[in-house]
């Protein structure tokens, strides 16, 4: 359960950004989380509620955009999105491709004020 430590990281970065922007309340936190980031969204929401207590983020909602796995397919010479993160095969040519381009993201994109 490393989601709690991730939640504390989010609160730390977001609190600093909110303070810098002069915002004393945040209503939403936008995140991008890759399918291979090893983060469970529900566990993160639960952890975030704990980590955000007593901060300007206490009432903020986590808005999570899931990033699918994208690999580079050497056969097709292009980036392709995997329909299934448990099968690293190019959906176009069906050849194995393991060069991960996207899907490991864990990014704090933006904050919203009420």
Considering only the stretches 45-53, 60-68, 85-93, report the one whose residues sit in contact with another protein under the rule CB under 8 A.
85-93
Using CB under 8 A as the criterion, what x/- string covers residues 34-53 for binding another protein?
Answer: --xxxx--------------
Residue 27's Cβ-count burial label (10 Å; 0-12, 13-18, 19+) is: middle
Helix (DSSP H) and strand (DSSP E) numbers for the chain:
2, 6
CB of 103 to another protein, least distance (A): 8
Contacts with another protein, residue ranges (CB under 8 A): 1-2, 5-6, 9-10, 13-14, 17-18, 21-27, 31, 36-39, 69, 85-89, 96-100, 104-114
């Amino acid at each position: 359960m490393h989601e709690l430590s991730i939640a504390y990281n989010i609160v730390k970065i977001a609190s600093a950004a909110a303070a810098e922007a002069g915002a004393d309340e945040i209503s939403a936190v936008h995140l991008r989380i890759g399918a291979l980031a090893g983060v469970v969204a529900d566990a993160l929401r639960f952890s975030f509620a704990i980590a955000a207590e007593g901060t300007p983020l206490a009432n903020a909602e986590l808005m999570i955009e899931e990033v699918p796995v994208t690999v580079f397919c050497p056969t097709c010479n292009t980036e392709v999105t995997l329909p299934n993160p448990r099968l690293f095969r190019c959906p176009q040519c069906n050849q194995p491709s393991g060069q991960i381009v996207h899907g490991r993201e864990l990014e704090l994109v933006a904050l919203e004020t009420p």
